[in-house]
Structures are given as C-alpha cells and as structure tokens.
Amino acid sequence: MSNISTKADEIVQSARGLIIAGGYNSFSFADISAQVGIRKASIHHHFPTKADLVRIVVARYRQEARQGLAGADANIADPVARLRAYTGFWETCIRDNSAPFCICAMLAAELPVLPADVAVEVRGHFRDLSGWLAAVMEKGAAEGRLVLPRPAAEEALSFMATVHGAMLSARAYGDPVVFATIVEPLFDRLSLRH
C-alpha cells in the first residue's frame, strides 16, 4: 500500500479512526472531509465510494496484522509468550486508547449490511488470525507448553472470541482493566502459567 498518496493516507487514517469509534455506518465522507480538511469531491477522487475506502482500510489493517504476527513468530520462540504478546498488544492499545478496538471485530458486527468486498476482507482477517492462533497453540502443545482440551483450531476460535469479547466488555464498562480480567483466565485454562 506504499503507493497511496499522502492525502489518501490521511483519508485512510481518518476512516480507520471513525470505524473504530462506531463502525461502517457511523460516518460519511463529510466526516472525513471535516477531519482531513479537504472537500468531499477530493475524497471521491481517491476513493470513488465508501466501500472502496473501507476495503482499503481493512486490507491495510490485515497487512499490518499479518506483519505483526509474523514479527511475533520471528522474534518470540516460546508459544506462550507469543500468545501473551498478542493479548498484551491489545491490552496496551486499550489502556492507552491508541487502538481500543479491532477494526475487523467492529465491522464483523455489521457483516450482514457490509458491501461484499469489505465483508471478504473482514472474514479474511478472522481466518488469518485464527490460523495463526491455531499454529501457535499446536506448537505449544507439541512442546508441552500448552494443554489443549480441544483441537487447536477450536481453541483458537475460542481464544479469538474471548479476546474480542474482552475488547467489547472493556468498552462497555469504560474500564481498560476489564480486558485483562477477562483474558487472563484463558492462560489458566490452557495451563499457561509460568
């Protein structure tokens, strides 16, 4: 996505923040126009439709997430530490309000009304993430670091759903501590104490 112009990048960043705040249907090009300081027609020049813009936002988000997960794989040998790095990333983002909610989790709630191209990207993110979690859990089980009560793919779905639910709960309670309160028992359940 490095070929996106600086102004287009500002538009993408604005849309990203608006999606995190309220989802797909919570904003318009007029909101972005006010934030970025350009006319709506200029936004349409870069992104003909809102669906085009949001698809780019989610595609970029997926790319960043894949890079982050690959970085964890490359830099953290211990599978338990990888899972903790993943939940720790979200705990920090929620606590400092830098990215208090997963864009794809927010958009997943709107899947029935999302444009098809956007829905494909959102579903792709969940497949990417659950696949990574399952691989980390399989490695952890093979090394004797994790005890998986169910197949790794099922545990990965449960882990992912708990993390996203913890984000939602932290937002609902207006308390970042709620995230860790909900997520920490995942590690106990999978015997991840160390």
Q: What is the pLDDT of residues 113-143, one digit of tens each?
A: 999 999 999 999 999 999 999 999 999 999 9
Signed CA dihedral, 16, 19, 21, 26: sign only = positive
Q: Rounded to two decimals, what is the model's pTM?
A: 0.92
Return the structure tokens found at 92: 């920090």
Domain membership of residue 12 (yes or no) is no
Q: Is the pLDDT of residue 182 over 60?
A: yes
- pLDDT tens digit sequence for 21-76: 999 999 999 999 999 999 999 999 999 999 999 999 999 999 999 999 999 999 99
d(Cα 80, Cα 77) in Å, to the nearest integer?
9
Return the structure tokens found at 16: 């990203």
User: In which domain, by residue range, is 132 found?
Assistant: 58-189
Domain membership of residue 10 (yes or no) is no
Domain membership of residue 120 (yes or no) is yes
What is the domain count for the chain?
A: 1
Return the structure tokens found at 98: 């830098």
Domain membership of residue 128 (yes or no) is yes
Domain membership of residue 147 (yes or no) is yes
Domain membership of residue 85 (yes or no) is yes
Could you tell me what percent of the chain has a pLDDT over 70?
A: 96
Contact predicate 114/25, CB 8 Å: no
Contacts 24+ apart (CB under 8 A), 2-7: 4/56, 5/46, 7/36, 7/38, 7/42, 7/46
Tell me the CATH number at 104. 1.10.357.10
